[in-house]
Chains A and B, each alone.
Chain A
């Protein structure tokens, strides 16, 4: 026992000068990611990065998404147990929690000294700044929600594609008929994006009292009555997830729905030129389009923050970011990469960039994760089923956010 102890001490002493001589000791960093396509593999990006940085090894681990819950829960558990990765892909909706857990390393000084900073538009930096003024998230991909329209049906009915809520309501009603519905609502978890566009863009505001003002209540009543009175959503809407809303569109059951460029190639394959996209309608509060964020962060527990930063900043740089978004199915955040972006048909990219000016995110508070996962779907479904009034629904949201 004692002897072994002596031996290890001796070995450590012998190794010390060597370690000093090779100051550039090889560092291994662990990075967590999720891509929607299981066949997408970042190995080529890792190899390219390691060639340029021979002193760093990247261990990339794909984590199941599980509606966002599996990914987050695994990250929380790892942080609590002191086993967090060095860097990970992250979303806005858990940033407040991660900040409160002191789990994130501030990136301000890294970003300010980074040559790639100018290649990412100011809009992104605005959205990615944390409420405490620091920057923890480095943008790597994005989408903005827009409105899919069956332009062939619109043309046949002599309707123009909607830009405001009057046109939207009229079109939804005119295009509802036998086995066909004007709008495919996502009423299951994740559907808050639809609600936000239709209600927060049309009179309601996410500020104290802004959800229960007369204009807000009227907007929400109109939204619920689209289902209960005008019946322009399919009957399955209260439980529909993105699969059902997309499938309803692809199989010709709905005339409009809200989604983003991530499904554009699929839609194009199924419907060809019959489908197009426009920004969501603009109402009295100026229009609201959900910004679908995707970032990388360096975890505070990391002992190799410099190496982790090198890796995540590489992923947000020009050509690497384009390659990354081909794997993730979303859109590059770099100006240089966007110039000759040809991953999806041009009209969908046009709708995306046109929507960027009204891109919004839910408040960066700890309640947001609970709102999107549980409170929004349960409360909205109850209102759609007539178990509670539309006004009671808004009061529940007001209470959650503003007490």
Chain B
């Protein structure tokens, strides 16, 4: 009896807080997504069933933003992970200023998004930006580039900013994971005559795999839902070139005051993410 109730006892505080603060609002959002909710017409909210969802099928902006979200998530998380993992491996080695280096690497992560967005906008400024200035001075650019005003470079620019913001998360998370690998495993591999690369492949990667998978999954969900950097840097523009799904939902719900439509977009995003997560969970359990 005791053993059976123990897990629930341990989970109770977390479940209670989540149920109360998250499930209630989520249920509310689900409910609103089935209604025609115009923010400034609180008295008239007719039930429309799946109307908001069906409308999405014909909505070209929805499909376009879905495509942008895909690029945004895959490229941003991929680069964040590569850079973060490299940093973690390097910061795990012994060198005299290691403590300082570990602390400094989290600086980008320790800044609020609005600051990051504004600083990168400033650095990418056509006229007064550091990047155009250095690019011209070092001969890398022939003429200043309007980075944020062209569809291709604008996406690149917002991804650059989110990679900068997010790679320290991977660096720290994976660094903590590296600490948990018993030194004996490496010693054993060394005795067996394994090369550095082999012990990385046979010891580091397998031991770190669960942490890597968790960190990737969590970061993917986070990046998929984050919109503040894009909002500050381009507002989804030029045109709709950097409009991702959550940004579209946000603009619909608040600027457009079409809360029902916005909620439906949010629910679709959540379902898509849930699909990815369940696939992951199913594979992890196997």
Contact = CB atoms under 8 A, between A and B. Distances in A.
Contacts of A97: 39-40, 257
Given A236-B146, A239-B154, A253 B234 contact: no
Interface string B139-165: 000001010111100100000000000
Interface in B138-195: 144, 146, 148-151, 154
A377 B235 contact: yes
B126 A244 contact: yes
Contact of B127 (A76, A244, A369, A378): A244
Interface in A362-397: 366, 369-370, 373-374, 377-378, 381-382, 384-385, 387
B285 interface: no
Given A244-B125, A248-B127, A381-B238, A239 B40 contact: no
A238 interface: yes
B240 interface: yes
Interface string A32-76: 000000000000000000000000000000000000010011001
A275 interface: no
B246 interface: no
A107 interface: no
B237 interface: yes
A253 B255 contact: no
B40 A98 contact: yes
Interface in B211-264: 234-240, 243, 251, 254-257
A234 interface: yes
Q: Which of B126, B149, B151, B240 has the most CB of A within 10 A?
A: B149
Given A247-B127, A377-B237, A382-B239, A238 B256 contact: no
Nearest to B154: A239
Q: Which of B151, B255, B257 has the most CB of A within 10 A?
A: B255
Contacts of B125: 236, 244, 247
B40 A374 contact: no
A100 B41 contact: yes
B42 A80 contact: yes
Contacts of B50: none
B148 A251 contact: no
A378 B251 CA distance: 12
A357 to B, nearest CB: 32
Contact of B256 (A76, A98, A370): A370
Given A235-B126, A236-B126, A378 B146 contact: no
B127 A253 contact: yes
A184 to B, nearest CB: 10
A374 B237 CA distance: 10
Given A69-B255, A97-B40, A381-B239, A238 B127 contact: no
Contacts of B257: 97, 366, 369-370
A244 B125 CA distance: 8
A370 B38 CA distance: 12
A380 B68 CA distance: 20
A239 B39 contact: no
B149 A237 contact: yes
A369 B40 CA distance: 12
Nearest to A379: B239
B234 A382 contact: no
B149 A370 contact: no
Contacts of A385: 150-151, 238-239
A188 interface: yes
Contacts of A238: 146, 149, 237-239
A312 to B, nearest CB: 22
A188 B238 CA distance: 8
Contacts of B254: 69, 72-73
Interface in A5-20: none
B235 A189 contact: yes
Contacts of A69: 254-255
B130 interface: no
A187 interface: yes
B146 A234 contact: yes
A101 interface: yes
B149 A187 contact: yes
Contacts of B240: 378, 382
Contacts of B251: 373-374
B32 to A, nearest CB: 12
Contacts of A253: 127
Contacts of A251: 127-128
Contact of A76 (B39, B144, B150, B236): B39
A100 B40 contact: yes
A381 B240 CA distance: 8
A80 B39 CA distance: 9
A180 to B, nearest CB: 11
Interface in A227-263: 234-240, 244, 247-248, 251, 253
Contacts of A234: 126-127, 146
Contacts of B236: 378
Q: Which of A76, A238, A370, A384 has the most CB of B within 10 A?
A: A238
Contacts of B243: 378
Q: Which of B41, B127, B148, B254 has the most CB of A within 10 A?
A: B127
28 contacts: A69-B254, A76-B39, A76-B40, A96-B40, A97-B40, A97-B257, A101-B42, A188-B237, A235-B126, A236-B126, A236-B146, A238-B149, A238-B238, A238-B239, A239-B149, A239-B154, A240-B149, A244-B125, A244-B126, A247-B125, A247-B128, A366-B257, A373-B255, A378-B237, A378-B240, A381-B237, A381-B238, A385-B151
Across the A-B interface, the 10 shortest Cβ-Cβ residue pairs: A236-B126, A97-B40, A236-B146, A382-B239, A373-B255, A235-B146, A381-B238, A238-B238, A239-B148, A238-B149
Interface of A: 69, 72-73, 76, 80, 96-98, 100-101, 187-189, 234-240, 244, 247-248, 251, 253, 366, 369-370, 373-374, 377-378, 381-382, 384-385, 387
Interface of B: 39-42, 125-128, 144, 146, 148-151, 154, 234-240, 243, 251, 254-257
